């Protein structure tokens, strides 16, 4: 059942929740630039009382809890079915708040913070003992960022506490870039969803560990490797698992272990070696023909530039954006990964993209979402 009262939607979903047979999920639609303070105050009260609130950031929607409330943080893991060794990111609303969760912030971290915050960059720091081990996956470090979204900042400020938040989706599924995605995965399971419209970047924040020498990229995102290196004045390490080819045994941040961002539909990712985009297209067409011979329904995830090359052969496509505008591709990525499940095809075949800048984040997500990777 759904009840609508002005800007607040109340969704009732019958669940097994102790003595009650349902949980109320309130969905509050707010202005993303100047969020209504009364609605943010409602959400902040939920956080203070130990509840869970999904809220927009400039990257994806997060599922937030009071970072100092161990019980509330553990609810996040239960609701998402998230492995307990997969750390969360602590979101703060100003630079002073960093000292409530972290110790001994190194100079390299401050260089990045001064240039990239508020924004889609997370830094790994030494944690204060007040931060529950549930937040950090049992580690003595904590992932921290100051988001660049008015709704997120207002929520943290009003709650008066740092907020621990992973993406607001079921573990392993594509991350949510709209409130509708959150509702599909989590309604009836959490207390409140703040609907601030579509997110801007569409992929999660860049995560870098500045405690290592040299610093190590843990997860690529909107802030590219090139930008980080320019800010700190040195090269950083980009391991194979940061590119999406493998998993780290002990994850230091989200997105480093376990299959992520995956639709139900199997994906074959066809990666083009530099200068071999034509070979990539030929291989995708070849796979599509073979699958059609087997009477299997297929769809190709393609750039707008290549779309007609598949349509000419009667191959079904989903356009993810222009290969000349990788920010557009990133913003559409999770929408497309969710959309291919709705198409009810047997298999999806995806093109690859240039790994420069945000392109590395796109390829990281595609590799982690794929069932098979072919290089041509």
Q: What percentage of the chain reaches a pLDDT higher than 90?
A: 86
Query: pLDDT category, 11, cuts 50, 70, 90?
Result: very low
Higher pLDDT, 103 or 2: 103
Residue 238 corresponds to which tokens in the numbers above? 């980009």
Which band of pLDDT confidence, cut at 50, 70 and 90, is reported for residue 21?
very low
Contact 143, 251 (CB under 8 A): no
Range of weakest confidence among 4-8, 204-208, 342-346 = 4-8
Across the beta sheet with 372-375, the strand order is: 317-321, 298-303, 347-350, 267-271, 372-375
pLDDT value at residue 300: 98
Of 127-131, 248-252, 255-259, 289-293, which range is least confident? 255-259
pLDDT in tens, 148-202: 999 999 999 999 999 999 999 999 899 999 999 999 999 999 999 999 999 999 9
Residue for token digits 């492995």? 83
- In angstroms, what CA-CA distances link 369 with 173, 239, 269, 363? 9, 18, 9, 10
Measure the CA–CA gap between 79 and 64, rounded to whole angstroms. 12
Query: How many residues are listed for the chain in this entry?
Result: 376
Tell me the mean pLDDT in the region 37-52: 98
Looking at the predicted structure, is the pLDDT value of residue 141 above 80?
Answer: yes
State residue 4's pLDDT score.
37
Q: How many CA atoms lie within 13 A of 148 on its CB side?
A: 18
pLDDT tens per residue across span 232-273 = 999 999 999 899 986 655 555 555 445 567 889 999 999 999
Task: Tell me: pLDDT of 364 over 70.
Answer: yes
Has domain 2-204 been given CATH number 3.90.870.10? yes
How many CA atoms, within 13 angstroms, populate the side-chain half-sphere of residue 351?
32
Q: Which two tokens stand for residue 37?
A: 């303070």
- Average confidence (pLDDT) over 32-50: 97
Determine what percent of the chain is predicted with pLDDT higher than 70.
90
* pLDDT computed for residue 245 by the predictor: 87
Architecture of domain 267-375: 3-Layer(aba) Sandwich (3.40)
Q: Which residue, chain included where needed, has tokens 């800048």?
A: 357
* Residues ≥6 apart with Cβ < 8 Å to 179: 27, 29, 54, 56, 61, 193, 194, 195, 196, 197
User: Structural domain boundaries of the chain?
Assistant: 2-204, 267-375
Average pLDDT over residues 39-68: 98
94 C-beta neighbours (distance < 10 Å), count: 12
pLDDT range class, residue 2, cuts 50, 70, 90: very low
3-state secondary structure at position 38: helix
Cα distances (angstroms) measured from residue 365 to each of 180, 203, 289, 335: 21, 9, 26, 13
Q: What mean pLDDT comes out for the span 88-99?
A: 97
Check: CB of residue 232 under 8 Å from CB of residue 112. yes
- Please, what is the average pLDDT of the chain? 91
């Amino acid at each position: 059942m759904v009840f609508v009262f002005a800007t607040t939607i109340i969704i009732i979903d019958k669940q097994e929740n102790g003595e009650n047979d349902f949980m109320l999920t309130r969905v509050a639609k707010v202005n993303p630039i100047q969020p209504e303070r009364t609605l943010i105050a409602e959400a902040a009260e939920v956080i203070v009382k130990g509840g869970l609130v999904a809220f927009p950031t400039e990257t994806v929607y997060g599922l937030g809890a009071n970072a100092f409330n161990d019980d509330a943080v553990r609810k996040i893991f239960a609701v998402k079915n998230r492995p307990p060794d997969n750390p969360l990111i602590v979101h703060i609303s100003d630079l002073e708040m960093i000292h409530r969760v972290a110790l001994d912030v190194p100079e390299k971290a401050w260089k990045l913070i001064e240039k990239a915050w508020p924004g889609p960059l997370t830094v790994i720091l030494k944690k204060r003992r007040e931060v529950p081990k549930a937040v950090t996956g049992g580690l003595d470090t904590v992932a921290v960022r100051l988001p660049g979204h008015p709704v997120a900042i207002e929520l943290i400020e009003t709650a008066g506490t740092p907020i621990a938040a992973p993406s607001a989706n079921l573990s392993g599924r594509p991350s949510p870039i709209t409130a509708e995605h959150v509702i599909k995965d989590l309604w009836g399971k959490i207390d409140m969803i703040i609907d601030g419209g579509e997110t801007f970047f569409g992929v999660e924040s860049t995560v870098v560990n500045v405690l290592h020498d040299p610093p190590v990229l843990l997860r690529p995102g909107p802030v590219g490797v090139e930008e980080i290196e320019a800010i700190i004045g040195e090269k950083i390490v980009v391991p194979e698992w940061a590119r999406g080819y493998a998993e780290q045994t002990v994850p230091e941040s989200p997105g480093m272990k376990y299959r992520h961002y995956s639709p139900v539909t199997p994906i074959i990712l066809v990666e083009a070696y530099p200068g071999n985009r034509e070979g990539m297209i030929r291989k995708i067409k070849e796979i599509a023909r073979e699958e059609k011979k087997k009477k299997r329904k297929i769809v190709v995830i393609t750039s707008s530039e290549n779309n007609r090359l598949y349509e000419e052969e009667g191959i079904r496509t989903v356009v993810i954006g222009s290969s000349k505008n990788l920010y557009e591709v990133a913003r559409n990525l999770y929408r497309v990964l969710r959309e291919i499940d709705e198409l009810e095809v047997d298999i999806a075949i995806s093109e690859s993209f240039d790994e420069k800048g945000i392109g590395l984040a796109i390829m990281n997500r595609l590799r982690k979402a794929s069932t098979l990777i072919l290089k041509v």
